[in-house]
Structure 1
């Protein structure tokens, strides 16, 4: 017993000693917030922070400000930056081993490291200087920490120095996040077009006429349910599907909206922006205000930056404020290759061409290097098996796709000037919304817009003749734009925002239904005048307007007296009647109506989902939401349009009630416990907090119930939602809002690790500009 006691005490002492050592090591490599250091700056630079860690940089030149931003990014977020560059370059296996190998092999298809190095070489001298200075700051900031960030200790790895090309890789990671990189949307649409009669294909892929709010006022008409027989592939399920759940297309994008000076009491224009992304620890964005001298004048810009890059992505410079939402248009095309008998050559309008071959060496932790060979055509790389008969043409592969012309927005002095810059910027093409100091607002697309000659932009096409091809990129005059609309309001929310020839120019990348955009538009229209606070309320709006018709369907047609009595659904019906109007954490009725809708669409289109899965695709790849077709079929409940496993639409709807109710009871224990907050509890985690559960309580944000859902302005699910909330009027920045989830720092002992989180979580106001200085670090030129 004495020996056992000694062993246990020794183990306890070892654990305590290990934890103490870890704490002391973490304490020793915290970011430096106070004092004075030497750095590679030409003149002294001040880095001050407020209580939330919002960084303010005061420099004598923009290049010194870039150095200081790189220094701060590295001190607070280097591991995040490293993951961004490794993600797009396909180099995660070097850190995480075999578990990341499959993703790395998919990423290497795009050869983004090679493209990043080429992109850096052709940068204009001024941008190259800023990127070089930023890079120097990153590496000095990393070195100043002493010990590497703690993630590298846990992974038993060492960080690599940052290169200027790595900033391009951070940008390419955003392409991968915001646009399709495998061509599966067109492959899925091509399969559907091949399998379905033309009238049913057009019916399924229609833009929703029920939920539309295009800024240019254009409207689409509903495609009616075809009178022809329901296709067998939609009626007869040939195989089981492993994931038959609801697919709502790309419906969790972003919101931005603005009102002109004509819609405010004092003539100010106001911009609101909340970009929806995956939410993790640390978050995507880092708040910074940069100030410098230029030709005897003080310049400044404030907002959110992307660690790994030197630009303010969204924010204000005092003259204009700008923000983004993903355009959700079509920025890639899949090419159906014509191959020779040996599949060694492909046909072009210049004759047969040999494939080119690229060897990619993937370093795998704990294993020998892996060499993978990738085949390429003159148009782009071949897709991986089982789609190796297709090639991918993607804006991200071209020099026009990625550059740092976004920096030019820092100097723009009007909404009109900002719109003119947009066509030269290389980012994943976004909806750019701008408000200026004169009260003017404007919209256009920002990013490269390909000039295409295609028979069909939605399905794979044969490019072996000149009939189908890309002919270059459009100049600014071709870009759709709206400046100073008579209504005094603009809005985008990833749905169809334009029509006619402009829509034909940009195509469809999987637009959202438009319920969210419609709710934002109507919220803007409801008030004759707006303030920053009224725009924030629209951002936080979680009314479930789109579900109202599903609630009515349940109460009027599905929950009949006989059905309720037979299956003891009285309490179910009462919950549906009581509180289904919004996605609030206390609502049980919302959970029930939402689950009923999801199960209805799943049952109605299980044959389609199964068909896609047999071809290694899924409903997630389609360019349309199944909401539109499902609702139309329910309104005309023909016996032949219901899947073969049901006798009528009524039987399908009632089965959807029973199945969804049972699933919620099994998951939550009872209907009373199935409130939306219990189902929509946040999982905002550090990458290693998720991988190493013992660290989770320490690294992750607390799990909390969340208001909001898809198809409403307050977009929120467990791991996806408003990655920032910004409301700002140029010239009145002191009245604005800027808040991010989690906090500024990725260091768990930093006072800023979760400094913003309570404000973000509880929907509280936090100023757009930095508050009172609490910490001050001075960087002096090296002797």
Structure 2
């Protein structure tokens, strides 16, 4: 997830800098910040003693005598290593950043309060099944029991001058809601289309600028998988036409303002890989499962590596600080991995407001807004009071921006989103996955899953492999595609959700493998539109290509090589364009020489490749083609660009293939000029950046922030997306694991940075270099080296 970046101003920073300048600066920061990880600690709320062992890498092993004691101890371990991260996350979810960060975050808090993440978290908790509510309670008790020991607080608390409040159940569940925002892209996509319509771009032209998923592109499920899943009904498609909205200048300004607001919040990244290969294709005869979710890179890492052992479970993998579950990993019977489905579970509804502005019209009847008042406390400033309007479609999110003036107005936009439903037992699903023993129990666990919808791949010790995409997928009214804001007048409402029996699912497909890389989940013939927008199929194509190249002889080492692959299929697509340009279009001998070098390049976007740097610069320049039409400086849509370069496009001068090739030649020269004619190694420009959410834009960033050379691009399996202006890489593989069902204890995992959030801890960034160079830790539940052992005992 892209971490928020807000500038921290104030006396505290000045004081700390002065302290750091003196000889006692290190000791000031170091004192009382390292948690006690050896010995014994008595804590109220614990039922029986628990051992919390740490490996030299910081990987935590919790050995408890009951499931809830394990969650209690996980809460302690998370708080010991990541207390500031947990504090920041819950303040994000509650819209309470301004209480400690001041006026700089008021607008973010306004959005977060308006959408109502914390209210939704409270509703979700109240409706949880008793076992999962108890798990949440145990975790919260663990965090609070640790806080009651009055531990040394992380540096961030000292800087900002406050202490953490006791934890509540809502603090646990709200971060899952924020993660759902990060992984739900349709809100932004609808606003983009809405803005283009308002600029006068027709719908047919928008389909050219934002082309649909290629008809021949790979899908996660195949047509034969639908036949294997007898519960999937035949497709019934409606051809009803949508009642088009006709936005104008007011809507354009509103969409622009909401998109700008969105950019200060977690951003969706349509990138993650997972795959599973059955024993018939592996050398060992047992399944191999791989996963690497691609999210924002920040300080500290989003993930925390942990092993939870109790009589009920023995699960190891990636946990999220603030949540009581192994989210991705394996237990002693099964393994699982996730990628984002990219399901369309958000809709913006344009409301027909009543003349007095106090309500809106649905099915010809007036309905009044429900309202609530939210007060945002602001450190160093006056509190801000906002009135939030709620409709039957959800909160009126257009109220978060003030367009000002008396120009043309736009209808209010309300947000309908599954994450805001009253009941959301997703945490129940993750808790039960860790307990599952087989395919049946795995699927039963996922019946509780709501959002964000994920592609789950599965393998077990019996040799089975499988796939299921769970979630609450809306069934829309006829003519409502979900691509554009809809009419909030009752004509385009949701009509329920896809039944769980009809979720995409397959067990042991005949081809022997399943690949998911945010590509289209379902083939032609599947009866429901889970989404109409999917990530480009490059990564899925490359993974499948490499699996088939080793078919029958695939090993764990091969799986590592696939996960680390940086071959750019984007370059493969654009190489023919470079051929058609011809040397005669190049402005000078240096450009002609670099053109020849790029044509000889194999597409391996290694950090040491100069060709990778030039291709990245050329592609960035190509993406300027639609800037005037779209109002965006870069338009990163490779299939639109390829079509323009093959067939011509109105944005070229002239609007012919010849005109577009002339543009491509100019873009090549501009890309080369960016490096003054001498492209550097890609890793010199392309840096994976890890920024602290508060200190990252202050002088203290030298203490917390990191950057390392990295390869790849947006199309590579080992993904390396980058900002077209700076080449900075702010998101990427946030975690990697490879589970070998033949030798489970030789399975592998890693995440960037380290297990500790304390910048003065040796565990703060010790995993960064292994992550960068493709090394892993052993994912073990036994036989590991123990560096420290803390015994938690029930208090008086």
State the TM bucket, normalised to the shorter chain.
0.7 to 0.9
What are the within-5 Å matches in structure 2 for residues 378-777 of structure 1? 378-384=392-398, 385=401, 388-401=411-424, 403-405=426-428, 406-456=430-480, 457-465=482-490, 467-500=491-524, 502=526, 504-508=528-532, 510-529=533-552, 530-554=554-578, 556-561=579-584, 563-564=585-586, 566=588, 569-579=591-601, 581-603=603-625, 605-610=626-631, 626-637=637-648, 641-643=649-651, 645-646=653-654, 648-659=656-667, 661-662=669-670, 665-666=673-674, 668=675, 670-693=676-699, 695-701=700-706, 703-717=707-721, 718-730=729-741, 732-769=743-780, 771-777=784-790
Where 1:506 maps in the other structure, the secondary structure is coil
C-alpha spacing 1:218/1:583, structure 2 compared with 1 (3 Å): farther
Larger mean Cα displacement after TM superposition, 111-120 or 655-664: 655-664
Contact 1:579/1:587, CA 8 A, preserved across alignment:
no
C-alpha spacing 1:349/1:781, structure 2 compared with 1 (3 Å): same
Q: Deviations over 1:503-533 (max 9, x none)?
A: 733122x311111111112122221232222
The one of 328, 334, 337 aligned to 2:351: 337
**1:644: Cα distance to partner?**
6.2
Contact 1:216/1:498, CA 8 A, preserved across alignment:
yes
Q: For residue 263 of structure 1, what is the aligned residue in structure 2?
A: 281
**1:688: Cα distance to partner?**
3.7
Q: Deviations over 1:80-109 (max 9, x none)?
A: 111211212211111211111111111112
**1:696: Cα distance to partner?**
2.5
Contact 2:140/2:168, CA 8 A, preserved across alignment:
yes
Structure 1 runs of 4+ with >6 Å offset: 11-14, 241-244
Contact 1:78/1:142, CA 8 A, preserved across alignment:
no
Larger mean Cα displacement after TM superposition, 588-597 or 42-51: 588-597
5+ residue gaps, structure 1: 1-10, 220-232
Q: Deviations over 1:193-226 (max 9, x none)?
A: 674555444444443438721133369xxxxxxx
**1:412: Cα distance to partner?**
1.2
Where 1:275 maps in the other structure, the secondary structure is strand
Q: For residue 310 of structure 1, what is the aligned residue in structure 2?
A: 324
Paired residue total: 725
Q: For residue 77 of structure 1, what is the aligned residue in structure 2?
A: 82
Does residue 295 of structure 2 align to residue 277 of structure 1? Answer: yes
Contact 2:450/2:472, CA 8 A, preserved across alignment:
yes
- CA distance in 2 between counterparts of 1:403 and 1:216 reads 23
- CA distance in 2 between counterparts of 1:725 and 1:582 reads 21
Q: For residue 113 of structure 1, what is the aligned residue in structure 2?
A: 118
Contact 1:402/1:427, CA 8 A, preserved across alignment:
no
- CA distance in 1 between counterparts of 2:570 and 2:216 reads 8
Q: For residue 68 of structure 1, what is the aligned residue in structure 2?
A: 73
Q: Deviations over 1:415-439 (max 9, x none)?
A: 3431343231233111111111111
5+ residue gaps, structure 2: 1-14, 225-246, 404-409, 722-728
C-alpha spacing 1:271/1:331, structure 2 compared with 1 (3 Å): same
- CA distance in 1 between counterparts of 2:337 and 2:135 reads 22
The one of 192, 202, 215 aligned to 1:188: 192
Where 1:505 maps in the other structure, the secondary structure is coil
Contact 2:123/2:423, CA 8 A, preserved across alignment:
no
**1:354: Cα distance to partner?**
0.9
Q: For residue 6 of structure 2, what is the aligned residue in structure 1?
A: none
Q: Deviations over 1:470-520 (max 9, x none)?
A: 233333212121111001100111111213353733122x31111111111
C-alpha spacing 1:663/1:358, structure 2 compared with 1 (3 Å): farther
**1:345: Cα distance to partner?**
2.2
- CA distance in 2 between counterparts of 1:179 and 1:163 reads 26
**1:595: Cα distance to partner?**
2.4
Larger mean Cα displacement after TM superposition, 750-759 or 130-139: 750-759
- CA distance in 2 between counterparts of 1:21 and 1:630 reads 54
Larger mean Cα displacement after TM superposition, 143-152 or 133-142: 143-152
Where 1:598 maps in the other structure, the secondary structure is helix
C-alpha spacing 1:355/1:551, structure 2 compared with 1 (3 Å): same
Q: Deviations over 1:130-173 (max 9, x none)?
A: 11111111122234352321111112222222111100111112
C-alpha spacing 1:697/1:657, structure 2 compared with 1 (3 Å): farther
Q: Deviations over 1:433-476 (max 9, x none)?
A: 111111111111123223332422212222423x4222333332
**1:609: Cα distance to partner?**
1.5
Contact 1:588/1:671, CA 8 A, preserved across alignment:
no
The one of 177, 180, 183 aligned to 1:178: 183
Does residue 88 of structure 2 align to residue 88 of structure 1? Answer: no
Larger mean Cα displacement after TM superposition, 490-499 or 197-206: 197-206
C-alpha spacing 1:21/1:439, structure 2 compared with 1 (3 Å): same
The one of 216, 221, 239 aligned to 1:216: 221
Q: Deviations over 1:660-699 (max 9, x none)?
A: 5445644x4x343432112211221222441222x23322
Q: Deviations over 1:354-376 (max 9, x none)?
A: 11112111111111211011211
Q: Deviations over 1:310-343 (max 9, x none)?
A: 0110011111111111111201112122223333
- CA distance in 1 between counterparts of 2:150 and 2:600 reads 56
Say what the alpha-carbon RMSD is for the aligned residues: 3.0
- CA distance in 1 between counterparts of 2:211 and 2:421 reads 31
- CA distance in 2 between counterparts of 1:151 and 1:657 reads 50
